Amino acid sequence: MQNGSKKELATLAGGCFWCLEAVYDELKGVLDVVSGYAGGKVKNPTYKQVCAGTTGHAEVVQLTFNPEIITFEKILQVFFTIHDPTTLNRQGHDVGTQYRSAIFYHSNEQKAIAEKVIAEQNSSKIWDAPIVTEVTPLSEYYPAEDYHQEYYANNSQQPYCRAVVAPKVAKFRKLLLSQKKGAYEGGS
């Protein structure tokens, strides 16, 4: 990647941030993925506070991506393949507002794209129920503690990672192989 390449941010919540981080770490065009917290009222929350469900924050990932390589729309299409956006405040056994599905947009353009993708997903009847993903402006984002960063990469044999994160990574690899970093692009 050359210096001066374009960069944009995307902030997404779709259950445990370890799951989203593990997938987006492999996505072509994503330059960095940082697990964190957004959408709540407590300044500088800790993992323990967020897990208690009293801060209003969701576990999120904040992506830095190159829009010349991957669009925000494609990032959202991946987002909707790796979590269930129809369950309110829940992903599998992870229950609470901290596990809600949300797109924290950084611009009006991102808001419009998010609303368009959700409408397309709902009208195509991919899901058995309507999408409950909230679309809301990002007000504050707080990076999670260091031990949460690259969690799956550093703890892939941990039971939660094997039972929950690994299947999502495998699904991404199977369904979206051409979008994986290092995939053959037919040139350069």
Annotated catalytic residues are 16
Helix, strand, coil percent values for the chain (each to nearest 5): 40, 20, 40
With tokens 């405040």, the residue in question is: 89
> What's the CA gap between 147 and 74, in Å, rounded?
29
How many CB atoms neighbour CB 35 within 10 A? 22
Are 24 and 11 in contact, with CB atoms under 8 Å apart?
A: no
How many CB atoms neighbour CB 70 within 10 A? 20
Smallest CA-to-CA distance from 87 within 140, 56, 127 is with 127
Distance of CA 154 to the CA centre of its chain: 19
> What's the CA gap between 99 and 141, in Å, rounded?
16
